[in-house]
Amino acid sequence: MAEMICIVCPRGCRLTVDEASGAVTGNSCPRGEAYGRSEILDPRRVYTGTVRITGASLPRGPVKSSAPIKTPLLMDVSREIESVTLISPVRRGDAALKNVLGTGIDIVVTRDM
């Protein structure tokens, strides 16, 4: 059994998740059940970081993934983004890296630069 606090809303329910079956208890709503099961069986996070850019006022610009990425892949995503250099101008929402690691998820710029 794994225990965790649900972070989906401020109520902060204490969840218990059976790693074998994915059964969740302690949740007060279905969103907590989905969160607890996902955290154990398929944990994902939105990637946030920076990417090198030339011709802008700053040497790096902020980026994030267009959707949550499996947490074991996050370090590999960081390494991939290090191989990228954007050329200014770029617009918020532009893809800095498409289909990162074959996930179907893009790494997108979060600020005009």
Query: Which one among 2, 3, 31, 111 touches ligand SF4, defined by CB under 6 A?
Result: 31
Q: Is 9 in the site for ligand SF4 (CB under 6 A)?
A: yes
User: In sequence order, what are the residues at sequence separation of 6 or more whose Cβ sits closer than 8 angstroms to the Cβ of residue 30?
Assistant: none
In this structure, are strands 69-70 and 2-5 parallel, antiparallel, or unpaired?
Answer: unpaired
Q: Is 41 in the site for ligand SF4 (CB under 6 A)?
A: no
Q: Is 24 in the site for ligand SF4 (CB under 6 A)?
A: no
User: How crowded is residue 45: how many other Cβ atoms within 10 Å of its Cβ?
Assistant: 12
Q: Is 32 in the site for ligand SF4 (CB under 6 A)?
A: yes
Q: Which stretch binds ligand SF4 (CB under 6 A): 5-13, 41-49, 86-94, 105-113?
A: 5-13
CA separation, residue 24 to residues 6, 13, 28, 44, 110 (Å): 11, 11, 11, 18, 35
Q: Is 28 in the site for ligand SF4 (CB under 6 A)?
A: yes
Could you tell me how many residues of this chain bind ligand SF4 (CB under 6 A)?
11
